[in-house]
Amino acid sequence: MTTTDRTGPLTLERMRADVAKLVGEAPEDVGDDDNLMDLGLDSMRVLGLVMAWGEHGIALEFSHLAEHTTLAGWWQVVQGLQRDTPA
């Protein structure tokens, strides 16, 4: 489903690339404040991203991302979870 690199922390660039791949866009065409649902991301694809990104060792859940519709919002969630996850 995604080509997430599972080594090291999840990055905004990795998230952008994974989202772009799922919606058939180039990563540079997915802006931080774009509504991801308007780009074509649906709940099943979001669930796939949650599962793939969770393999980075963070306790990411679908509900965390469902509260936000932008990459910037998702990144804030991920940063908070990464801070709360012991190294």
Domain boundaries, the chain: 12-84
CA distances 30 to 8, 13, 41, 58, 87, Å, are: 23, 10, 12, 23, 30
CATH code given to domain 12-84:
1.10.1200.10
Q: Is the pTM of this model over 0.95?
A: no
Beta carbons of 71 and 15 less than 8 angstroms apart: yes
pLDDT in 10s for each residue of the chain, 87 residues: 444 455 678 999 999 999 999 999 999 999 999 999 999 999 999 999 999 999 888 889 999 999 999 999 999 999 999 888 766
Total length of the chain:
87
